Amino acid sequence: MMSNPETGPRVFHCLDNDALEIKSTPYGSVGKVYGDGRIEAVWVRKQAEQIDPGWFSQAEVDLLLVLHGRLMVEFAQPGQPNRVLEPGDLLILPPGTRCRAYHWPRESAEPTIFFAVYPAGSPANPGEHLSS
């Protein structure tokens, strides 16, 4: 479903990979569904992806909402426990939080799909890092 967002409301079927543009990498796929120069919104799909060896961190807050499957989030900060997020869980990452996220459990045939919203132009936004 593709239409000009300027012409009215738009519905995206994130669980069906509906997006304005999709980027696929060894770390997952990212579908951009919104961007207005201030914020961006993407869905991220992970399934049998490689685990990114790097850590994600940005200067602005980041919101992640799990839509389907389970997502493991590892934190680089000592004492910060790893978290397994399930559908309906919303993770608010404070600025400067170093983490990485991947499909969980690793052997599951079910994909993990989550939705992320972050400031546009962030140095390393989740749509780029979590799947790039």
pLDDT above 80 for 125: no
- Per DSSP, the three-state class of 49 is coil
Which pLDDT value is given to residue 130?
47
- Domain layout of the chain by residue ranges: 16-129
In whole angstroms, give the CA distance from residue 86 to residue 43: 15
Just give the CATH number of 16-129.
2.60.120.10
- Structure tokens given for 59: 């200067």
d(Cα 9, Cα 62) in Å, to the nearest integer? 24
Residue-level pLDDT at 121? 78
**What is the pTM assigned to this prediction?**
0.86
Rounded-to-integer distance, Cα 105 and Cα 94, Å: 25
Q: Is the pLDDT of residue 112 over 90?
A: yes
C-alpha 2/C-alpha 75 separation (Å) is: 37
